[in-house]
Structure 1
Amino acid sequence: MAINVTQQPSGIYPAFNDSYISFASSLTGLTKAEITVQPTELFPNPFLIYPNTNGRFIFNLKDIVKSRMTSEGFEDNYSIPALGWNQEIDNTYLSQTISITDYHSFSGTTTSGSTTELTYEFDRSVKQVGDSIYNNTYQLLNISENGVDYHLTYFEGYPFSFELQRVSSGDTIEFKNVNSGIDNSITGITSTNSQRIYLDKGVSNWTSSNYLPLTDTINLLEIYQNETFKTNLYLKKVQPKCGYYLKWFNQNGGYSYWLFNEFSKEELKVKTLKDVATNPFKNVNEGLKNPTTTIGYEGSKRIELKTRVDEKEDEVIRSLFTSPSVQLYTSQSPYINGKWISIDLDGSYEIYNKKKFNEIKVTIELPSLYTQTL
């Protein structure tokens, strides 16, 4: 007797899409099934499900996986390491184990049958209709047409990184700049997880440290796993300049960056909180005063940003408009340390496919202003 799984997630599956498991059992008198989810500290009670009239069970892992992968929200809680150019990220990749036990009724007694243990892999991405799941574990958590070739723009002097979906314990990650022929590698991977690769820490980068110098053009970086080719990164490097630097959680489960133009339009909006009576008790000849005064104001600051993008950059920046977490870097100058602050974003996205370059306008709203109030 056995459990026969007929539908299940495959590959490293997007956590924010439905992930159905369908199965049947060969037991006679089948009555129910229990799904035990690991870790039991988070899911102490099994999920009890029942078959349809054809004896088929169906179970959706989506909410379980989401709850585990969004426990800390979508903001990036990792600080740039002082040493090295890589960092393990433990909330991007998930290996989820479940156990299925079937039950049947015999002579009025319910008895367990067989137990099947299954393990599935997830990342924090979401797929749209027509999208594909790529089997390259060294794919970047960013937009791609095939899971091998990636096009990113990097603004020198500002923090910039990308994530590799899953790197196995013991792997050696190798980078080769095809333009220059220079290569370098990262070793010492001690666990299987996502790896973040830092190209720029805001005060130093691959070029200034001579780790893997990049030219002010499109650099073709080949990425290898233990000397086996995995991924192409076409990295467009932009010379240091001032501007508004945004970072956001993208639909592929990683973080994207963009430097908007230095010149912007700012709008400061204020609103009175409440008026209260002052009771001056003055006659006309005694100098009338306003009988009310405000207890203070609340204020907000909005900034309209502009930029131009080519067709490859357009694909990257689209995810900004649906991101659950957008942050602004407080430094508007390269090589000056800043901090990330959470902001709200407003605007629409219009692209004309006949144009080589398109102008994009977005409005960001900064956190509410602190004001003096009664």
Structure 2
Amino acid sequence: MAIEFNQDISTTKLLMAYNNNIVLLKSTSALIALTCEITLFGKVAIIYPSPSGDFFFNIKDYVTAAINTKNFADDLVTDIDSGDASTFTYDVSDGCYIANVINFKIIFKDNSYETITKSLKFLAGAEQLETYKKNEMLIADSDYLVLSPVQNRSNNTVDLKFWSGYPFEFSFYTNFPDDDFKLKNTTNALDYTFTAKGDVTALYFGDGRTDVSIEDILPLDLGLNVLRIEHDATLMDPIINLTKMDSDCGVYIKWLNKYGRWNYWLFSEQHFRNRGSRYMAELDNDNDNLEDTISPTLQIGKTTQDTLKCFYKKLDQADKTVVDGLSEAIKIMLFVGERYSRSSVNDWIEVTIKSNSFVMRKPNTKFYEMEVDFELPIRYGQQL
């Protein structure tokens, strides 16, 4: 007798925590199965069989509770030093990645039982049905995965933009979390060897300073740089089309993408800043005769909030694939630090999007214009 899975789940692929992860199992024993006890992420779930003896279980609710250890906050403190290549990579697995051995225990009427275990690994991300059907998603069983949306009709090519003078990184998952890897710039035939720091590693290009950046050890051309990752003399799947942009003033944003890591974008300096305000409530203060009355009501306070109306005038399809992630991002951060200066976690504030409609596709259009309203935190003010 044994436990068999009529609907199984992969132990080799990187699974998305925020999609359904369903198993359907049963015992081949002739004994009557009463319950299935599932131990996962420090919890125990007890489920009961269907009339046919099958046990149905969705791991989603348990893994999403376990993986989100930081409420998606980015609290990483960097200390980049051009003289030490190890300072360009950081372990960012916590809050983004989790692995767990899940134990399934079917208990029979005579108190005997059978067990089976599965080792699973999850990313704090989600795939959509349409892109899944088109295979426009990460190669889930690859040894290296760059955690950014892939190109249209691709499963291994990502497009990124890097503005010098602003903090920037990209993150990748690897099956070799402690190994060296070579980042090859195929555009200028230069490369450099770095060390991965965890299952999910962030490779920083800079923290805003121009005198300390990845370009000190791996120069980039202005414009397109095609980057590849090499491990143990073998070229890995990801293709990274990194465009180095001219540095400029503007509204710099990062947001949590669908794979649980960050994308970055610089909107135009030509933006609007509007402030909305409204009175909160008022109290009746009409307690005197007319000649003694100054204010028949008392205002409790006022709520004020600023909105940034930002623009980007020429988005091609590759750009749009990245920036479209703003429409679904659960966390968006606005950079309030100084360009060309060393940044820290305190140089970002969380904002939200006021826009509730996004043009995802327009017929006969090669380039798109984007307009986004970012709502800043509610301003502090005096209140009764």
Both proteins in one fold, TM over 0.5: yes
**1:261: how far off?**
0.8
Q: Secondary structure at the match of 1:313?
A: helix
Inter-CA distance 317–268: structure 2 relative to 1 (3 Å threshold): same
**Corresponding residue for 2:268?**
261
- Larger of the two Rg values belongs to structure: 1
**Corresponding residue for 2:279?**
272
Q: Aligned-pair RMSD on alpha carbons?
A: 2.3
**1:328: how far off?**
0.6
Inter-CA distance 103–185: structure 2 relative to 1 (3 Å threshold): same
**Corresponding residue for 2:221?**
215
Counterparts of residues 178-197 of structure 1 (less than 5 Å): 178-187=186-195, 189=196, 192-197=198-203
More helix by share: 2
Query: Which residue identity lines up with residue 304 of structure 2 in the other structure?
Result: G
**1:281: how far off?**
5.2
Counterparts of residues 1-80 of structure 1 (less than 5 Å): 1-10=1-10, 11-40=13-42, 43=43, 46-80=44-78
**1:38: how far off?**
3.8
Kept in 2: contact 1:139–1:147 (CA 8 A)? no
Q: Taking structure 1 as the reference length, what is the TM-score of the superposition?
A: 0.89
Distance (Å, rounded) in 2 between the aligned partners of 1:212 and 1:66: 37
Distance (Å, rounded) in 1 between the aligned partners of 2:212 and 2:190: 12
**Corresponding residue for 2:88?**
85
Inter-CA distance 58–293: structure 2 relative to 1 (3 Å threshold): closer
**Corresponding residue for 2:310?**
305
Distance (Å, rounded) in 1 between the aligned partners of 2:244 and 2:277: 40
Whether 1:346 aligns to 2:354 is yes
Inter-CA distance 296–227: structure 2 relative to 1 (3 Å threshold): same
Kept in 2: contact 1:265–1:304 (CA 8 A)? yes
**Aligned length in residues:** 362
* Counterpart selection for 2:241 from 220, 230, 234: 234
Q: Taking structure 2 as the reference length, what is the TM-score of the superposition?
A: 0.87
**1:276: how far off?**
4.2
Gaps of 5+ in 1: none
Kept in 2: contact 1:242–1:334 (CA 8 A)? no
Distance (Å, rounded) in 2 between the aligned partners of 1:297 and 1:349: 31
Distance (Å, rounded) in 2 between the aligned partners of 1:32 and 1:127: 35
**Corresponding residue for 2:84?**
none
Distance (Å, rounded) in 1 between the aligned partners of 2:149 and 2:247: 25
> How many percent identity over aligned positions?
23
* Counterpart selection for 1:172 from 180, 204, 217: 180
Inter-CA distance 77–353: structure 2 relative to 1 (3 Å threshold): farther
Inter-CA distance 48–205: structure 2 relative to 1 (3 Å threshold): farther
Distance (Å, rounded) in 1 between the aligned partners of 2:211 and 2:148: 21
Inter-CA distance 208–252: structure 2 relative to 1 (3 Å threshold): closer
Distance (Å, rounded) in 2 between the aligned partners of 1:229 and 1:205: 31
